[in-house]
């Protein structure tokens, strides 16, 4: 699983997703599932490298589009902090990246924005939606040579790399649409609510990481059906079966 740390959290205190990540690492260590993606590196080193490329590319494009959307809608907070960049180092969180490699769950740095500076009643939702839409757009773009490129032989390295990027960006886009804080879906819902309901939603936000952790640990099958099943359908549609 891949998550993006939310951009509406308050300053100070412990990062809830950092705490959740540590708990996942502890659970993975005690139940023997630690070193998930790394375990596959020995059997399929090329596939592991392609997976890293797909994830880094997906997180970079995802976070860049959050920053770009906020900039276009009137808030330059992310741009001033160097987040309006396609340099992966501007968006990768050290612990989130380590967690991704070790346990298969990770996150990128949050893209901060100032809600009061954004223009439009739906601006918060637009900024949140920009990241997942960028992943779907990247998946569609990389699927074009696979679906229509006669020069690409099925199974060669170029084909495998493109398919890996397509699949994992479908996963990244869909997972972040789940409306549980700190995922983008929660901010999308927040931006669509009237002010009074936004206050209520912010109260729920503090429990989001715990709920997400519980789903990952105790209801991974449900979460997998919610994300992986649709992602596989989108992938097949994009690459042509």
Ordered by start, the domain boundaries in the chain are: 2-239
Q: Which of 181, 212, 217, 210 is nearest to 9 (CA)?
A: 181
State whether residue 233 is helix, strand or coil: helix
For 37, counting Cβ atoms within 10 Å of its Cβ (0-12 exposed, 13-18 middle, 19+ buried), the class is middle
Rounded to whole angstroms, how far apart are CA atoms 112 and 182? 13
Rounded to whole angstroms, how far apart are CA atoms 82 and 60? 13
pLDDT of residue 44: 80
Instruction: Report residue 102's pLDDT band, with 50, 70 and 90 as the boundaries.
Output: low
pTM of the model: 0.85
Residues with active-site annotation: 63
Tens of pLDDT, residues 179-191: 988 889 999 999 9
Higher pLDDT, 37 or 119: 119
């Amino acid at each position: 699983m891949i998550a993006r740390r939310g951009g509406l959290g308050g300053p100070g205190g412990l990062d809830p997703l950092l705490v959740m990540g540590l708990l996942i690492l502890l659970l993975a260590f005690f139940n023997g599932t630690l070193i998930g993606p790394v375990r596959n590196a020995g059997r399929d080193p090329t596939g592991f490298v392609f997976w890293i490329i797909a994830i880094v590319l997906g997180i970079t494009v995802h976070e860049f589009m959050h920053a770009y959307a906020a900039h276009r809608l009137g808030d330059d907070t992310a741009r001033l902090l160097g987040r309006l960049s396609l340099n992966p180092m501007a968006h990768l969180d050290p612990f989130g990246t380590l967690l991704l490699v070790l346990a298969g769950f990770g996150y990128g740095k949050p893209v901060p924005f100032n809600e009061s500076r954004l223009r439009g009643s739906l601006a918060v939702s637009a900024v949140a939606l920009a990241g997942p839409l960028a992943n779907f757009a990247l998946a569609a773009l990389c699927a074009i040579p696979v679906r229509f490129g006669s020069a690409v032989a099925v199974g060669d390295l170029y084909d495998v790399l493109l398919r890996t990027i397509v699949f994992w960006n479908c996963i990244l886009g869909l997972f972040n649409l789940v409306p549980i804080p700190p995922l983008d879906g929660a901010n999308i819902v927040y931006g669509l609510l009237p002010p009074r309901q936004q206050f209520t939603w912010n109260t729920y936000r503090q429990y989001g990481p715990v709920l997400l952790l519980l789903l990952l640990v105790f209801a991974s099958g449900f979460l997998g059906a919610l994300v992986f099943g649709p992602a596989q359908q989108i992938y097949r549609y994009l690459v042509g079966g």
